[in-house]
Amino acid sequence: MFWNSQSKSFYFRILMIGGISQILLMMLVFRNPSKPQETTFHEMDSSNNYMNVCALPVYDYWHPTVMRHVDYDFDPTRDCDENFRPYTELVNGTWRIVEERQGTNCSARCYEWAGEYNVRRGPWMQPGVVSCEFLEAVCWEGEHEVYGYMHTQIVKKEPTTAPKFANPPNVFVFLFDSLSTGQAKRSFPKSISTLSSRFESVEFPFVNKVGENSRPNGIPLWFGKSIEPINNEAFGGENIEPDWNYTKSCYTDLEESGTSIFKDFESHGYMTMDIDDWASQMVNYPSCNGFREPPTHHYMHPFQLVYERFGANITKEHLNGKLCREEVHPVLEYFQQFVDAYKGRPMFTWMWLNTFGHSMFNGLMRADDILVKVIERNAELFENSFVFLMGDHGYRIGKKRFLQTDIGTVEMHNPYLSISIPKRLRGNQAILETMRQNSRKLQTHYDTRATLLDILKFQPQSSFSDKSILEISGEKGNSYFRRQPSFPRTCGRLPIPPEYCICQVEKVPVEDENLKERFGRQLIDYIHDQLEKGNFSSMCEKFEMRKVTSLVHFGHTNHSNTFHNYEIVVETAAPSFAQFQTILMHEKKTNEVKFVNIIRLDRIGKTGECTDSSFHEKLCFCKSLALMEKWKYRMEKQMAEMVLTIEGYFPKYLIY
């Protein structure tokens, strides 16, 4: 059928009439839907002492409030073609055609790194020896592409330098984007059980993120630097400016920092690998410089550039799940090739997996079986290694009904972390006991980084027996293998912006509609001011407030002044339908209102891309957005509203 404006209008009417009819029917049948069940945390701070008290978020990870959104059977590849087998292969440095098909012509070409946004492409070649790590194979029938596939291999390199200590342990980091503590417990039962029973892993359930999304959490992990401010003034503390401003963190080559975790490991004799399954990886999003040179001996970024941007059209489709193959599969293959190639040498790898859970609440469910296979296949290797399984932050975009619960709010800011240590060190229960003691305290990514540096530079000097407090020059964190400083481990004392604090305090819902209306409009005005300061006002539509979804007063009021602190959630009207959340500080004497970093709760798609700024993107609805994109975005928002309404009646039938 020819897809023209008339057919669009027709199907749109059918969709809307059908949807509205279903909603009306359900509202007639179910007149009194039950309200969402209130969640109870086991501890709550009633002392109003933000700087010195932290009631850690102890709760039921399988609470009914959460489980109404969970679907253990979610798998977008369920109906994939299980009979598909690749036509080509790359083994032992040689590529060949496995299955010759009459009338089909196949060739392959190499790709190499040529910067964070480009690749060097080789000529098409026939089967034979290959010296590159990333190979694209394509087959045609006449002029028609019928097959596209990306192969990987490891071309071995020599270490940059000899190890500085005898028998340095391997360190493997598996980071799943948007993996919270609760999400991990629900999604990875097999993996967590295997790591615990076989490797005596220790979980750290109270890690607090230090930034909104991946980048302001990844930069602290990899470089030890903050890129978001900390506004503690209204909570009895001091405001702290970020170590790096946006220009420094985005438009300066990251090698210039001199604090790269990868270069630290490389300079100590490790073979290094950085793997990501997304071309717009953490150091580049949305258009940042990233690295001037590959940061590790083996760097998978060119693979993702080919798959998403530079490969043949059919190659760009071969990891979409239809062939039972997704972005994670070549990532794990490349990892396996690396560890097989460098057995006997110290290895440091960092795997950052985005595509499973970033945009789908139940997306991580299918990762458990995959991860268990990796653990079991490499069990002997992992027995003699440090293995980190972690998240950067929790699920944070979409699933409005979940995110607006108290558990959803905590999980957004509470990334998962578990650590297993080499078997030879487990005989000394002291190190495990120290880890367990620290696991019962508030921690941050800075502490995880300090632990990695302790493994690399300091603990080898004492055969991992030193438990004394260690202050690493230039670092903000403290190792999990040692006693930590005795000051209260609270959001006010640690480098945690208050808008992300997971410590539980008393919150009182505000019912004053006039106050809600005033604060909501002030937030919208503040957003417009931020766009004005960034010179983006001419690019972005003006927001109009639709309603204040939530306004709660925080119990931890600083009694030395008249500041009152609130958490506010505001929804805007068409065409943006945006959902903004932030902490609002109200000075009653002067009636002054201040805001901290604004969090965007809904999916924004391409609506803010015109700013080319990760800070302003979430605050902008671009005037230049194509008409079709606006139409698509509006339909998605209206469908989301419909789903939200239906979900209130049938929560189990609309899970994704």
- The per-residue pLDDT for range 505-515, each reduced to its tens digit, is 988 899 999 99
Task: State how beta strands 443-444 and 207-208 pair.
Answer: parallel
Condensed to tens digits (0 to 9), the pLDDT of residues 348-387 reads 999 999 998 888 889 999 999 999 999 999 999 999 999 9
What's the domain range around 234?
170-494
Q: Do residues 222 and 477 lie in contact, with contact meaning Cβ atoms separated by under 8 Å?
A: no
Q: Are strands 88-91 and 128-129 parallel, antiparallel or unpaired?
A: unpaired
Can you tell me the mean pLDDT for 433-438?
A: 98
Distance (Å, whole) CA 391 – CA 214: 9
Q: Where is pLDDT greater, at 99 or 1? A: 99
Q: Token pair 């209260």 is at which residue?
A: 488
Per-residue pLDDT at 653 exceeds 70: no
Cα first-last separation, the chain? 30
What's the per-residue H, E or C state across 331-365?
HHHHHHHHHHHCCCCCEEEEEEECCCCCCCCCHHH
Structural domain count, the chain: 3
- What CATH number does the domain containing 606 carry? 3.10.450.10
243-253 pLDDT, tens per residue? 999 999 999 99
Mean pLDDT of the region 303-317: 98
Residue 86 lies in a domain: no
Q: What is the pLDDT of residue 399?
A: 79
- 533 and 642 together in one domain: no
Is residue 389 located within the same domain as residue 326? yes
Q: Within this chain, do residues 514 and 452 fall inside the same structural domain, yes or no? A: no
Q: What is the pTM of this model?
A: 0.90
- Cα dihedral value 34, 40, 46, 51, nearest 10: -110
Task: Please give the biggest Cα pair distance in the chain.
Answer: 83
- Identify the pLDDT of residue 574: 87
Looking at residue 36, its pLDDT comes to 34
pLDDT at residue number 235: 87
Q: Over range 35-56, report the average pLDDT.
A: 77
Provide the CA 564 distance to its chain's centre, in angstroms. 32
Query: CA torsion, points 391, 476, 204, 465, in degrees to nearest 10?
Result: 130
For residue 584, CA distances in Å to 336, 413, 553, 594 come to 48, 18, 9, 6
Whether 482 and 527 map to the same domain: the answer is no
294: number of Cβ within 10 Å: 17
| 278 is a domain residue | yes
Identify whether 178 is part of a domain. yes
pLDDT reported for residue 18: 53
Q: End of a domain among 429, 459, 494?
A: 494
pLDDT of 22 reads 52
Phi, psi of 273 (to 5 degrees): -145, 135
Residue recorded with tokens 């949807």: 19
What confidence category does residue 29 fall into, taking pLDDT thresholds of 50, 70 and 90? very low
- For 176, the 3-state DSSP assignment is strand
* Integer angstrom CA distances of residue 445 from 40, 65, 178: 27, 28, 14
Contact 271, 297 (CB under 8 A): yes
445: in domain: yes
Quick check: is 90 in a domain? no
pLDDT one-digit tens code per residue, 257-303:
999 999 999 999 999 999 999 999 999 999 999 999 999 999 999 99
Tokens 């980048």 correspond to: 215
Measuring CA to CA, which residue among 566, 523, 530 is closest to residue 546? 523
Question: Which of the two residues, 596 and 20, has the higher pLDDT score?
Answer: 596
- Same domain as 528, residue 484: no
pLDDT at 10: 47
419 and 271 assigned to the same domain:
yes
Which CA distances in Å does 53 have to 440, 494, 553? 14, 12, 18
Q: For 614-643, what is each residue's pLDDT tens digit?
A: 889 999 999 999 888 888 888 877 777 776
Q: Quick one: pLDDT at residue 559?
A: 53
Token readout for 64 is: 């009914």
Domain boundary among 432, 463, 494: 494
Q: Is 290 helix (H, G, I), strand (E, B) or coil?
A: coil
Q: What is the predicted pLDDT for the residue at 329?
A: 97
Task: Enumerate residues 6+ apart whose C-beta is below 8 A from 62.
Answer: 185, 186
pLDDT in tens, 389-406: 999 999 988 777 788 889
User: Do residue 599 and residue 651 come from a single domain?
Assistant: no
How confident is the model at residue 507, as a pLDDT?
A: 86
pLDDT above 90: residue 327: yes
For the stretch 182-197, pLDDT in tens is 999 999 999 999 999 9
Closest CA to 220 of 445, 492, 474, 452: 445
N residues, the chain: 656
Choose the final residue of a domain: 472, 494, 516: 494
Does residue 633 share a domain with residue 621?
A: no
What whole-number percentage of the chain has pLDDT above 70?
Answer: 91
Predicted local distance difference test score (pLDDT) of residue 33: 36
Q: Say if CB 427 and CB 200 are below 8 A apart.
A: no
Whether the Cβ atoms of residue 241 and residue 229 lie closer than 8 Å to each other: yes
Query: Mean per-residue pLDDT for 453-470?
Result: 97
Domain with residue 176: its CATH number is 3.40.720
Residue 3 clears pLDDT 60, i.e. is over it: no
Neighbours of 562 (CB within 10 A): 13
Average pLDDT over residues 414-425: 98
- Answer yes or no: is pLDDT of 106 > 90: yes
Count of beta carbons in the 10 Å neighbourhood of residue 579: 21
CB 569 within 8 Å of CB 579:
yes
Strand locations in 341-462, DSSP E?
A: 347-353, 385-391, 417-420, 443-444
Determine which helix (DSSP H) or strand (DSSP E) holds 579, and give its type and residue range. strand 579-587
* Average pLDDT over every residue of 173-178: 98
> Nearest 5°: phi and psi at 496?
-120, 120
DSSP alpha helices (H): ranges in 81-188? Answer: 181-187
Q: Mean per-residue pLDDT for 200-224?
A: 98
Per-residue burial over 403-432, b if 16 or more Cβ lie within 10 Å, else e, is bbbbbbbbbbbbbbbbbbbbeebeeeeebb
- Mean pLDDT across the stretch 516-535? 96
Q: Identify the three-state secondary structure at position 5.
A: helix
Q: At what angle do helices 367-377 and 189-199 cross, to 10 degrees?
A: 20
> Which pLDDT score is estimated for 650?
59
pLDDT of residue 561: 56
Q: Does residue 483 fall inside a structural domain?
A: yes
Count other C-beta atoms under 10 Å from residue 521's C-beta: 14
- Does 400 lie in the same domain as 465? yes
pLDDT at 221: 99
| Closest CA relative to residue 39, chosen from 453, 361, 353, 404 | 404
Does residue 124 form part of some domain?
no
Are residues 464 and 552 both part of a single domain? no
Give 114-128 pLDDT, tens digit per residue: 999 999 999 999 999
Question: Does 585 or 493 have the greater pLDDT score?
Answer: 493
Task: Kindly tell me if the per-residue pLDDT of 28 is higher than 80.
Answer: no
Whether residue 556 sits in one domain with residue 486: no
- Model pLDDT, residue 32: 37
**Residue 96 domain-assigned (yes or no):** no
Give CA–CA dist 412/390, Å, rounded: 14
- Dist. CA 139–CA 239, nearest whole Å: 59
Residue 570 and residue 449 share a domain = no
From 204-208, 437-441, 546-550, 585-589, the region with the lowest mean pLDDT: 585-589
Mean pLDDT within 176-182: 97
